[in-house]
A and B are shown apart, each in its own frame.
Chain A
């Protein structure tokens, strides 16, 4: 995936390369799964960008799902399910379309209730 700004990194992403501070000392090894604590360390040592391993679509999807309140997820699925009854839900494209629409629905509802 390449370089990402510290601000765009989410806990759970993996380092593709070692992270070094300016003098060359290694702060964190490649392959480490980044946690909130690591992000603080990067900020302390002035590391602005790190190399992140690319994720498969399943990993990205799983990550997006983890960030969503499970109750909101269930409610959005219950709302959208009837819409998709007449199309093949085993088709990969329909599954993806539905997944994206569920997340979109949750996002829209959040905006409506003013909690961004």
Chain B
């Protein structure tokens, strides 16, 4: 039986992150680079610039004034967050050529955006600081499933068929047949991209949040956000059912059940506009 790691290291190409992201990341982490330096690097990529400006002007941020330039965005949004946004939108551009009968990419990113919004809404309910740190985790939580589709489309087609017939959860079938699930594949991919440990663990543990050792609250948050996105049927990750809720994770989120109705209302409100900005029809 292959392991998640072999899947990534195999012969088929798994896209690497674009150079521009690596350069932004280095600049953000380099204490000697200025805000202007970071802005200049981003501005070299006009399509990235356009995408970032769209997002920072969307309902996700709802700043009072329009942000017209990247240098302004760097000041207002902050370098780390802008780097995370650059990562999310770069990754969304990376995965192409997946057979549409396996996964409808538009629906896939819609599910990811819904999970992302739900994660922020939950974090905001608890008045967590820096709720944007949940951004990338929400967008990337199911990324491993795209790898499974690219590496093993026939297996995935059969697994989807099995779930459709039996009413099983896709990630449970992944675990049973492969010995690992898309979350484990996500971990290996994000590690190979050298992304931060908090992000790696949150993605790796989103169906098994009790296993999260270093970032249990973040993992619990994305676990619950994913369940909410499924229950609301916003987009589709290939999984057709609401994943099993871990009661340990539920306690860790600190969300009260009485807050769910308000949370769902907020997700509905933010979702349509966010999708229009980030993944408009025909863009992926």
List the interface of chain A (C-beta within 8 A of B): 57, 82-88, 91-98, 100-101, 104
Closest B residue to A92 by beta carbon equals B257
User: Do A93 and B250 touch across chains, with their CB atoms under 8 A apart?
Assistant: yes
Instruction: Give chain B interface residues in 229-284, CB to chain A under 8 Å.
Output: 230-233, 240-245, 247, 250, 255, 257-258, 260-261, 264, 268
B-chain residues with CB within 8 Å of residue A104 when the two chains form the complex: 232, 264, 268
Give the distance in Å from the alpha carbon of A100 to the alpha carbon of B232 in the complex. 9
CB < 8 Å: which of A82, A86, A93 contacts B169? A86
Can you list 7 pairs linking A and B with CB atoms under 8 Å apart? A83-B230, A83-B231, A86-B169, A86-B244, A87-B241, A88-B244, A104-B264
Give, as a whole number of angstroms, the nearest-CB distance from B253 to chain A.
9
Using known A-B contacts A101-B232, A101-B264, determine if residue A83 contacts B258 with beta carbons closer than 8 Å: no
User: Do A82 and B261 touch across chains, with their CB atoms under 8 A apart?
Assistant: no
Closest A residue to B230 by beta carbon equals A83
User: Do B250 and A100 touch across chains, with their CB atoms under 8 A apart?
Assistant: no
B-chain residues with CB within 8 Å of residue A92 when the two chains form the complex: 257
Using known A-B contacts A96-B257, A100-B261, determine if residue A88 contacts B241 with beta carbons closer than 8 Å: no
Closest A residue to B255 by beta carbon equals A93
A-chain residues with CB within 8 Å of residue B260 when the two chains form the complex: 93, 96-97, 100
A-chain residues with CB within 8 Å of residue B231 when the two chains form the complex: 83-84, 97-98, 101
